[in-house]
Structure 1
Amino acid sequence: MRYIAYIFLLLGLVAEAQERIPSGREEGSPEPVRPSGVQESDSIKAANDTIPDIQDYQIISYGRDTTYLDTSLTIKKEYRYNYLRKDNFELLPFSSVGQTYNTLAKDLDYNSLYPQLGARSKHYNYMEAEDISYYSVPTPTTDLFFKTTMEQGQLLDAFVTMNTSRRFNFSIAYKGLRSLGKYQHILSSTGNFRLTANYTTKDGKYRMRTHFTSQDILNQENGGISNREQFESGEEEFSDRARMDVFFENAENLLIGKRYFLDHEYFLVRPGKAFSRLAFGHEFRYETKYFKFNQDQAVEDYFGSAYQRSDMEDRARLKTMYNRFSVNYGDRIFGDVSFKAALYNYNYYFNTVLYRDDEVIGSQLKGTQVTLGGTWSKVIGRVGLDADVEINTVGDLNGSSFKGNAYYAISDDLKLAGFISSVSRMPNFNFLLYHSRYQNYNWQNDGFGTEKTYTLGGTLSSEKWGKVTASFATIDDYSYFYESADPEQQPRMVLSRPAQYDGTIGYLKIKGENEFRFGKFGLHNTVMYQEVSQDDPVMNVPRFVTRNTLYYSNNVFKKAMYLQTGITLKYFTEYYADGYNPLLGEFYAQDREKIGGYPLLDFFINARVRQTRIYLKAEHFNSAFTGYNYYSAPNYPYRDFIIRFGLVWNFFR
């Protein structure tokens, strides 16, 4: 709660007045992107400029790509107005906000060459270092995001940033959620605190950016509904979802993480001052995480036999420290070249050692990795090329990564991009070692090897006609959790175990997006087709997913308000969706039950008044008349009809 107090103290300093500034790009126009070499402080206005340009309110990504603050109201803003604040087309949310998401497509683009903690269902709202943005603004700027949740609670994301000088900026933000949910014992309570700063010296030779994050994601767990007839019958008695039976009401899981990040660079030869440039860089990360599962009393008819009957607590911990040093060179002939070396220290551990029969399950995986690599990029006329390679040369965590991209501007409107990648990395730590009070959830897999993913694809994009992306991936030694419970003898149990698939999986994914305009009306379409070739059903996705939005937009009240209203249809074909295991915080492959084949209809009315966007939505309003067969995972129903509202409000001092 002290973080919230800091936020509102700063808000009080900068929210005395809301000035009129340009409202950003027009409806339907592309989001602008600046070249990555643009300095963060280049476009700060002089003190005597009374009305800064909207493009001076810069947002700098981890990769140093720069966009500006956008206060417009578009259909893509509607798609991003959710808990994650990004388009969740490929995700299927559970019934309560902040609970978790099932996947409608597989993401094979790994940001890290190293294994992660695991508990992947808890990480959708966890902000990694690559998710943190930095800022440069001519005036203090505030962004307030608010949205209602399920039953008691709210969702609030409050952010403020300011430049104390042309060269130094800092920001502070807190995103907090509390959602009681409509079923018994599924409370969600999360918090994401972020503090960032970036600085450039007057001569431009040194630049630095840093951040600190503290995040906690808490979910009460009930194992899903235990009597599905209560839900599927549609009986009025159980329209109050709190009356429905669930498997248990005494468990919760929690993910907590803290991270310290520093990235700085010193130029011996500054860009723009000579034919070439030369710089030395250093990136530092120190992060601590733990994931725990608590349960007051053991539920053996769900998770199997336990070593104790009460006060159940499983806790996995991970501490990592990462130092990367780089030499960066660039000129007009060879392009930009970087040579890098990284030192990665990890400690994944439990506070117990398990002796079972003749088997000893250790309590720790600890070591040091040395990684060597480099990057290269070059623009030649309308063609852009870049490549990134990394290899683990020392340590027990084998792995390597190669990623290449090519871009070609066919015309001012039509662009073609291709990509290729080869990634080999160890599975997450919870595949390799796990301890639990439940007997089935203890293992040490020394024989697991690297998972190998090879991807080839491309994107054809046009502002007029939309874009289409196609990719094909092959995966060897795919790591997954499977369900070991007997479907006839143990139909109500969840006994997930880790495994590596000894075959090869082929994964084809084609995704298209376009928009048609008819005067004040628009039809926005997103369609995805997928095909998986495998001998056993270990990686499952729906073959077809579509989202279609028909909407109307216009200025009203003498152009004092911009209004947008419409209907969105989302549909995906039936497939063997992954089941959810709350003890591990993971999804597991299953072939007992298919979900999908039901439409999801949302009606929305959105409006913009100056820098304020107001959102009102009737979610899944067709739930009462299309049948109660909508699930997000086996035993976990999707959301019922609900009306939610909120706003995004920007202040400029």
Structure 2
Amino acid sequence: MRNLIVLLFFLSFSLNAQESDSTKVVELKADIKLYKTFNSEKDTIYIDTSLTIQDEYKYNYLKKDNFGLFSFSNEGYLFNQLDFSRKRTTTLPQFGFNAKHSTYLDNSDIFYYSVPTPLTDLYFKTVMRQGQSLDALISVNTKPNLNFTVAYKSIRSIGDYFNNLTSSGHFRFITNYNSINKKYFLKVNFVGQDIYNQENGGVKFIEQLDGTNPSFSQRERVDVYFNDASSKLKGNRYFLDHSYQFSTGNSLVLKHQAYYENKFYEYIQATESPRLGDSPNSSINNKTRFDVFYNKVGVSFKTKNLGEINFFIDNYSYNQFYNVPEDASFNPSINYSLHNRINNVGGQYEFNQNKWNFNILLQNAISNQPTSNYEAFAKYKFSEDNFVKISAQQISKLPDNIFIFNQSDYVNYNWNTSFKNEKISILKAETKNKWFEAYVQLTNLNDHLYFFNTEERIDSLVVKPFQYDKSIQYISAEIAKEIKYKNWALDNRIKVQEVQQDEKILNLPYLVLRNTLYYTKPVFKKAMLLQTGITVNYFSNYYADDYVGVLGEFFVQDQTKVGGFPVLDFFVNARVKQCRIYLKAEHFNALFTNKVDYYNAPNSPFRDFHVRFGLEWNFFK
């Protein structure tokens, strides 16, 4: 697959070179605004080859602005969630192993394309050590109403510390079609992905990082807890979404959405570790499989002036299971699988006309598993980039499967229990205008589920699921403002959040901020656009959740605070035609400050100083 990506790169380069020479600017055969991409929610984005500060923020493995996330030492491994408001919530029970899903592509991460000429999009970036990160995409409209897109994203990085390899791949095949008379619309995609990580369990002796012993400046010499543990999250998903509108104008619309997904999480350890407790086996091989089939059928009435009203019913069937032993260890009293089926009915009203946009959704379960989701928002647009929006949501959510059912070769990590639904209420107000963008969010959590280490020691992990029987109130406010003067700009984003609770269950930093001072100027007779500057990321110290690989989950701890340190990045970026080039000195203040203070979690150090290079290149044939 890696050879295929290289071949696609040089093929695209050759095609581009045949149509232009080095003394001419490439002329697109079509207006750039005709190159469009949109997600399952029909939010349209135009393909953009400009170079802005937002491109700098999105130039990472997630390919999105990761403000509110804090990456662990190795690229593509884990992220601390500093911003609770970014957490995705669904009423339906998920697989679990949520920490490992930070780079897993969901349906909302898949984009569909419409391009007048073939489009190639290439992304490349160096990593920590011995590897690279790549993302290659080719999109073609064989007809104006039929598009095919093929993409592959991968990363391999050995990391700075021992037994910390990241090696992942994400293949996407995407197509969308609409009939010439604009009555039938179809979106289909297949996503196959595997996320492999070596799991070292963190640094064993923190004092090895204090700089007194030069031997440990070579980070692979630092002692870690696990030398032979690894995890893999692998999944395949087939997705279909189509609709038929009987006529233009006021009309009845039939809708159908379905997907099938199978995946597994595997944790392998060649030698059992006393840190995780006893095991009847000398080696650990945990594998949890999950299959889900989802169907949603709806009918709506669409009008020109009064919006669209939609009624639907859905079915969510899942099966989580483990291998049944064929030897003497088989125990007929143990459940080796978990089956369930959930049916919901609901109605939705959408109005989007002139400057107003309303949306109301009501959804309830009709099966023996009670869930509900009530949400609404109202948005008024003064212009395309100037709006005010108020939204509210109330959710009754079934627990993710890992909270109620888990099997492991480690005795401490087996349970079959039950919990109440989590109840979440959200009220949010946001605005964007020519002066600033901002939002305020109030969230109330009841029956919140979490993991906690019952040993309360870093060298002994007995992590179990718990449910908090009291209420948690979360409030956050965020504001962003960019100040420009000639070729200089100062981009600022500040987030303040506070949690009111009787115990330390939901732990978050009070302050999260990012400030970037940068300079932009065309050079070489405007043949190149140069952008250079310094970014400061900071979050106040707090009791950050720790991580346990055998569950692929974060767990609550209240012994050690992390944070309270700045991370300074110096960057030089450039754009030449459709190519954007990135060079960054990451965390350069680690060269002259105390490295022992930089942590993601109690025994997981943040990355040291690195210089990284990469590019993004669009080809329009």
- Same fold judged by TM-score > 0.5? yes
Q: After superposition, what is the alpha-carbon deviation per residue over 1:341-361, rounded to whole angstroms, capped at 9, x for unaligned?
A: 1111110112248999x9955
Does the 8 A contact of 2:428 with 2:439 survive in 1? yes
Alignment pair present for 1:188 and 2:160:
no
Does the 8 A contact of 1:526 with 1:547 survive in 2? yes
Shift, 1:50, TM fit: 7.3
Shift, 1:382, TM fit: 2.8
Within 1, Cα distance between the matches of 2:117 and 2:386? 36
Within 1, Cα distance between the matches of 2:328 and 2:495? 49
Does the 8 A contact of 1:339 with 1:375 survive in 2? yes
Q: After superposition, what is the alpha-carbon deviation per residue over 1:492-515, rounded to whole angstroms, capped at 9, x for unaligned?
A: 112111011000000001111110
**Which residue matches 1:157?**
135
Distance 1:9 1:280, change over 3 A: farther
Alignment pair present for 1:376 and 2:349:
yes
Within 2, Cα distance between the matches of 1:282 and 1:108? 28
**2:338 is matched with which residue: 365, 382, 396?**
365
Distance 1:414 1:159, change over 3 A: closer
Distance 1:363 1:50, change over 3 A: closer
**Which residue matches 1:421?**
393
1:212-291 matches, cutoff 5 A: 212-233=190-211, 235-270=213-248, 274=249, 276-291=250-265
**Which residue matches 1:461?**
432
Within 2, Cα distance between the matches of 1:539 and 1:234? 36
Does the 8 A contact of 2:211 with 2:217 survive in 1? no
Q: After superposition, what is the alpha-carbon deviation per residue over 1:172-221, rounded to whole angstroms, capped at 9, x for unaligned?
A: 00001000011101000000000001111222221111000100000001
Alignment pair present for 1:634 and 2:572:
no
1:40-439 matches, cutoff 5 A: 51-107=29-85, 110=88, 112-233=90-211, 235-270=213-248, 274=249, 276-300=250-274, 302-310=275-283, 312-352=284-324, 361-379=334-352, 381-396=354-369, 398-410=370-382, 414-439=386-411
Within 2, Cα distance between the matches of 1:391 and 1:612? 49
Alignment pair present for 1:546 and 2:513:
yes
SS in 1 for 2:33: helix
**2:475 is matched with which residue: 508, 515, 530?**
508
Shift, 1:14, TM fit: 5.0
Task: Output the aligned Cα RMSD.
Answer: 2.1
Distance 1:627 1:580, change over 3 A: same
**1:572 is matched with which residue: 511, 536, 539?**
539
**Which residue matches 1:472?**
442
Within 1, Cα distance between the matches of 2:82 and 2:557? 15
Give the structure-1-normalised TM-score.
Answer: 0.90
Q: After superposition, what is the alpha-carbon deviation per residue over 1:14-33, rounded to whole angstroms, capped at 9, x for unaligned?
A: 55332899xxxxxxxxxxxx
SS in 2 for 1:230: helix
Shift, 1:113, TM fit: 2.2
**1:582 is matched with which residue: 521, 525, 549?**
549
Within 2, Cα distance between the matches of 1:316 and 1:486? 27
Does the 8 A contact of 1:17 with 1:652 survive in 2? no
Q: After superposition, what is the alpha-carbon deviation per residue over 1:32-80, rounded to whole angstroms, capped at 9, x for unaligned?
A: xxxxxxxxxxxxxxxxx97200000010111112121010000010001
Percent identity of the aligned residues? 40
Q: Any unmatched runs of 5+ in structure 1?
A: 22-48
Does the 8 A contact of 1:15 with 1:652 survive in 2? no
Does the 8 A contact of 1:355 with 1:361 survive in 2? no
SS in 2 for 1:16: helix
Shift, 1:374, TM fit: 1.9
Does the 8 A contact of 1:373 with 1:389 survive in 2? yes
Q: Which runs of 4+ in 1 moved over 6 A?
A: 353-356
Q: Letter of the aligned partner of 1:16 in structure 2? A: S
**Which residue matches 1:522?**
489
Q: After superposition, what is the alpha-carbon deviation per residue over 1:134-188, rounded to whole angstroms, capped at 9, x for unaligned?
A: 0010111000000000110000000000011111100000001000011101000
Q: After superposition, what is the alpha-carbon deviation per residue over 1:455-504, rounded to whole angstroms, capped at 9, x for unaligned?
A: 00110211x212011000000000100111144xxx41121110110000
Q: After superposition, what is the alpha-carbon deviation per residue over 1:498-537, rounded to whole angstroms, capped at 9, x for unaligned?
A: 0110000000011111100011000000100000000110
Distance 1:524 1:359, change over 3 A: farther
Does the 8 A contact of 1:7 with 1:159 survive in 2? no
**Which residue matches 2:566?**
599
Distance 1:110 1:632, change over 3 A: closer
Distance 1:136 1:333, change over 3 A: closer
Alignment pair present for 1:16 and 2:14:
yes
SS in 1 for 2:208: helix
SS in 2 for 1:436: coil
**Which residue matches 2:24?**
none
Q: Letter of the aligned partner of 2:357 in structure 1? A: G
Within 2, Cα distance between the matches of 1:460 and 1:224? 41
Shift, 1:236, TM fit: 2.3
Equivalent pairs, count: 611
Q: Any unmatched runs of 5+ in structure 2?
A: 21-26
Distance 1:380 1:284, change over 3 A: closer
Within 2, Cα distance between the matches of 1:346 and 1:50? 48
Shift, 1:243, TM fit: 1.0
Q: Letter of the aligned partner of 2:440 in structure 1? A: A
Q: Letter of the aligned partner of 1:421 in structure 2? A: Q
Q: Letter of the aligned partner of 1:282 in structure 2? A: H
Q: Letter of the aligned partner of 2:441 in structure 1? A: S
Does the 8 A contact of 2:390 with 2:429 survive in 1? yes
Alignment pair present for 1:619 and 2:593:
no
**Which residue matches 1:25?**
none
Within 1, Cα distance between the matches of 2:11 and 2:532? 35
SS in 2 for 1:297: coil
SS in 2 for 1:17: helix
Shift, 1:407, TM fit: 0.7
Shift, 1:607, TM fit: 0.2
SS in 1 for 2:143: coil
Within 2, Cα distance between the matches of 1:240 and 1:336? 62
Q: After superposition, what is the alpha-carbon deviation per residue over 1:388-411, rounded to whole angstroms, capped at 9, x for unaligned?
A: 222111143x21111111112357
Distance 1:545 1:639, change over 3 A: same
Within 2, Cα distance between the matches of 1:12 and 1:183? 34
Give the structure-2-normalised TM-score.
Answer: 0.95
Does the 8 A contact of 1:285 with 1:323 survive in 2? yes
Does the 8 A contact of 1:367 with 1:395 survive in 2? no
Within 1, Cα distance between the matches of 2:50 and 2:462? 49
Does the 8 A contact of 2:305 with 2:353 survive in 1? no
Within 2, Cα distance between the matches of 1:329 and 1:139? 35
